Structure 1
Amino acid sequence: MKVSFYGTRGSCPSPGKDTLKYGGNTACTLIEANNGKKLILDAGTGIRRLGDELVKQQEDIYLLVTHNHFDHIQGFPFFKPAFQAQRNIYIYPAITQPNEPKAIVEQMHGSYSPIASTMLQANIQFQFPDWQLQPIIINGFSVSRQPINHPNGGMAYLISCDNKTVAYVTDNELNFPNPVVTISQWISIVSDVDLLIHDGQYVASDMPLKFGWGHSLISESLDLAVQAKVKNLAIYSHDPERTDDELDQLQAEINNMNQNVNAFLSMEGQVVQL
């Protein structure tokens, strides 16, 4: 299994000379099985570049959406395969409050977008499997989902293939007020996974101002990974104000900690082979 990061930034894009190393595009990750089958996680601005690659291929596209905040759907209007006739795109929406499963295309209307969703030429189908029967098989991957601690709700995904498991838990505040899922439950959910991709947008100095905003401290994500005995931890959803130099310093601090997990700050363009 191969995991490729096309967007690792949280909240909003942050292009510029100070974010070249870790990237400025918002959430989009691609998981590819050994047989070449693919699964896309989220459609932030990072999905545009992924679309430039996929537009040259003919395979069906499978997209899992964690929630409908702009940094997770705003790239879809620029996803070239969506404008290809006879292209099949299967979208698996999350449960949100309010529940708006088709928000990823409904954002393309009125004064919000010069291109209406009716102009998309692909065969876009929203999928609503019975998740009570999870895991669900999606394009050959075994997929389960779990609610996250985030304003307006959303979903995390556990994806298994080739005897490997990835937990994609972006935009999740471990110490959320009135949490949907407790820390002890998260430890059980992501226990022993091969790769945990977890929100780490904040550091201690961001608190208490941003308490309840739906994001975890890097240190909290690291503690979760250690307690759950995961093999690899990718810190995700970097704060848009965090520069490459600041993220490098945070990575150095992680490297100096005594831990039993390979922990790293995810970078746009990075590929992790499991």
Structure 2
Amino acid sequence: MKVTFYGTRGSIPTPGENTVKYGGNTACVLIVADNKKLILDAGTGIKKLGEELISNNDPVTIILSHNHWDHIQGFPFFVPAYQKNRQINIYSAPTNPVEHNAIIEQMNMSTFPLSFKDLSADIKIIPFKNKFENMIINGFSISSIHINHPNGGFAYKICHNNKAVAYVTDNEVYSKDNLNTDFTEWIDFLRDVDFLIHDAQYTDLEMPLKLGWGHSSIDQAVKLAKAAKVKVLVLYSHAPERTDTELDKIIKDMQFKELQIIASQEGITHNI
């Protein structure tokens, strides 16, 4: 599998001189294996990805972790959605309240100048209602688990050819207010994963003021990755105010023999 980051930032896009290296676009990740593509989330990073996809007419598969704006806000700018004869399947996670059509309802002529009916592609919304194991989607074997985040959503484990990538964005590991999955359950779900992409929005110093917001500290993500014996931990959903310099220092200071730690970086592809 090849994993490419198109959006790494949490909450809000943050362009500027301090985010050039790691990126300022919101959540979007592309996984490719055997010429099959899987898009995770549709934050602003999906715009550039869409520009790269317009030269072919392959079906598009998008899987959403949840419906908060930084995970769907790029879709109105996703060029394949405007292409005739293009098939786009969007899988939506269960949330509270249930809003499976949120990604297209944001185009309501009040907040965007076009509506869903202006899109030329054949777009289908396929709702996930319950967590699942080993569902085959576009050639990938995918399992899900509930994230600890306000209004809920899913994390995913994507397997192909004996390799596993986990996508756990917007998850508060030790949540009290939004506990859907406890630490032991996370360990079981993530055990021996090759490449764990996990929310690491805050530092331990910042965390006390952010409890209940549905995000983890960097140290919490590391603790979980170690407990699950993950091979590579990828820090994801960087705080809007987190600079390239700060991320460089965090990565430099957090290296362990038993766990490789990297920060998700826009435009970088990893071979798994």
Distance 2:186 2:123 in 1: 33
Which residue of 2 is the match for residue 36 of structure 1?
Answer: 35
Which residue of 2 is the match for residue 47 of structure 1?
Answer: 46
Residues 158 and 164, structure 2, Cα contact 8 Å, conserved in 1: yes
Deviation at 1:135, TM superposition (A): 1.6
How much identity, in percent, do the aligned residues show?
A: 52
Residues 112 and 271 of structure 1: CA distance in aligned 2, closer, same or farther (over 3 Å): same
Which residue of 2 is the match for residue 210 of structure 1?
Answer: 210
Which residue of 2 is the match for residue 228 of structure 1?
Answer: 228
Deviation at 1:115, TM superposition (A): 1.2
* 1:27-59 Cα distance to aligned partner (Å, 9 max, x none): 0000000x1100000000000000000111111
Residues 173 and 215, structure 2, Cα contact 8 Å, conserved in 1: yes
Which residue of 1 is the match for residue 125 of structure 2?
Answer: 126
Counterpart residue type for residue 244 of structure 2: D
Which residue of 2 is the match for residue 117 of structure 1?
Answer: 116
Residues 42 and 73, structure 2, Cα contact 8 Å, conserved in 1: yes
Most deviating of 121-130 and 24-33: 121-130
260, 263, 270: which is aligned to 1:262?
260
Distance 1:132 1:223 in 2: 24
Residues 191 and 228, structure 2, Cα contact 8 Å, conserved in 1: yes
1:81 is aligned to 2:68: no
Residues 44 and 72, structure 1, Cα contact 8 Å, conserved in 2: yes
Which residue of 2 is the match for residue 194 of structure 1?
Answer: 194
* 1:90-149 Cα distance to aligned partner (Å, 9 max, x none): 010010110100100000003111111110110001124675663211110011111100
Which residue of 2 is the match for residue 176 of structure 1?
Answer: 175
Deviation at 1:163, TM superposition (A): 1.6
Moved over 6 A (4+): none
Deviation at 1:207, TM superposition (A): 2.6
Which residue of 2 is the match for residue 26 of structure 1?
Answer: 26
Residues 226 and 259, structure 1, Cα contact 8 Å, conserved in 2: no
TM-score (norm 2): 0.97
RMSD: 1.2
Counterpart residue type for residue 158 of structure 1: K
Distance 1:133 1:150 in 2: 19
Distance 2:58 2:258 in 1: 39
Residues 5 and 29, structure 2, Cα contact 8 Å, conserved in 1: yes
Counterpart residue type for residue 15 of structure 1: P
Distance 1:50 1:200 in 2: 24
Counterpart residue type for residue 60 of structure 2: I
Counterpart residue type for residue 151 of structure 2: N
- Is the helix fraction higher in 1 or 2? 1
Unaligned runs of 5+ residues in structure 2 are none
Which residue of 1 is the match for residue 241 of structure 2?
Answer: 241
| Number of residue equivalences | 271
Which residue of 1 is the match for residue 62 of structure 2?
Answer: 63
Counterpart residue type for residue 243 of structure 2: T
Deviation at 1:209, TM superposition (A): 1.2
